[in-house]
């Protein structure tokens, strides 16, 4: 067996940029089975945050098989994110996708060198900014027509007809209420986008019985605008709460959503 075939792979957590190397003091352990995170200088103020990965559990075939097992993927995704978060405290960080691997350290550094101009533009766009997530969920039950039945009893219709009519009106009322909340959520999105440097709507994948997601978005917020952004969230949370809609804020996060510039909704 050749030395190349048993040499470890290079797992990439992130690309960091700064005047000095990012601190790895107290860095989380990283993915199970990998060596501790370390730095690779890539020139121009760029640093790769990497770890040596054994080929057996992290080769292409093993990863492809593991991707179908949520219990296998989830702890690795959390471990990856923990390292990225740590590095983002002391440097502008460009998170790598989960399971980004190269055949060697040299290959990883060469990849950064080939993309250095584009990476520099991304760093200029993201430096001094963090990602925040905002989700609006309609949780109140649809409006009912309580008391309607009593007024319908003498309208000449049978009980079955009155019941069907009441259900139809309840569904129509629920649709109107949801439509009003969606319009309010759109106004909230525009207000938050006005404070952020960029925004991007997300595809809501979470499904919760009895609730409807009417807004799921990520915002790229400069550090200097964090207080104003949070205040805007609080203001709209109160406004939406009166309509039975819960607005939640998460973050700050490394700018996972904004590493790629395409489809970002720019302010203005």
- Kindly report the pTM of this predicted structure: 0.76
pLDDT of residue 57: 85
Judge if the upstream peptide bond of residue 252 is cis by omega within 30 degrees of 0: yes
Taking alpha carbons only, the member of 1, 35, 25 closest to residue 13 is 35
- Rounded CA-CA distance 49/88 in Å is 11
pLDDT tens for each residue of 110-150 = 999 999 999 999 999 999 999 999 999 887 654 443 444 44
Average pLDDT over residues 196-208: 75
Percentage of the chain with pLDDT > 90? Answer: 62
DSSP string, 102-155: ESSHHHHHHHHHHTHHHHHHHHHHHTTEEEEEEEEEE-SPPP--TTHHHHHTTS
Mean pLDDT of the chain, nearest integer? 84
Tokens standing for residue 122? 């991304």
Q: Picking from 151-160, 240-249, 251-260, which range would have the lowest pLDDT averaged per residue?
A: 151-160
pLDDT tens for each residue of 10-51 = 999 999 999 899 999 999 999 999 999 999 999 999 999 999
Phi and psi of 102, rounded to 5°? Answer: -125, 160
pLDDT band at 268 (very low <50, low <70, confident <90, very high): very low
- Rounded CA-CA distance 209/205 in Å is 13
Average pLDDT over residues 208-234: 89
Phi and psi of 246, rounded to 5°? Answer: -95, 125
């Amino acid at each position: 067996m050749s030395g190349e075939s048993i040499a470890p792979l290079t797992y990439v957590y992130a690309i960091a940029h700064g005047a000095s190397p990012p601190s790895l003091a107290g860095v989380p352990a990283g993915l199970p089975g990998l060596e501790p995170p370390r730095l690779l200088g890539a020139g121009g103020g760029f640093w790769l945050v990497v770890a040596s990965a054994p080929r057996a559990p992290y080769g292409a075939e093993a990863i492809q098989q593991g991707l179908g097992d949520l219990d296998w993927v989830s702890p690795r995704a959390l471990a990856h994110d923990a390292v990225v978060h740590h590095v983002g405290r002391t440097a502008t960080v460009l998170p790598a996708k989960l399971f980004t691997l190269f055949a060697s350290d040299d290959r990883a550094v060469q990849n950064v060198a080939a993309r250095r101009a584009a990476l520099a533009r991304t760093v200029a766009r993201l430096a001094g900014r963090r990602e925040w997530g905002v989700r609006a969920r309609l949780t109140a039950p649809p409006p009912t027509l309580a008391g309607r039945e009593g007024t319908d009893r003498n309208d000449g219709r049978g009980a079955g007809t009155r019941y069907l009519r009441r259900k139809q009106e309840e569904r129509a009322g629920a649709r109107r209420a949801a439509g009003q909340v969606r319009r309010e959520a759109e106004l909230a999105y525009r207000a938050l986008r006005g404070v952020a440097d960029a925004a991007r709507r997300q595809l809501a994948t979470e499904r919760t019985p009895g609730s409807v997601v009417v807004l799921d978005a990520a915002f790229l917020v400069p550090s200097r605008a964090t207080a104003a952004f949070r205040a805007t969230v609080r203001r709209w949370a109160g406004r939406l709460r009166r309509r039975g809609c819960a607005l939640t804020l998460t973050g700050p996060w490394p700018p996972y959503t904004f590493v790629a510039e395409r489809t970002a909704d720019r302010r203005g």
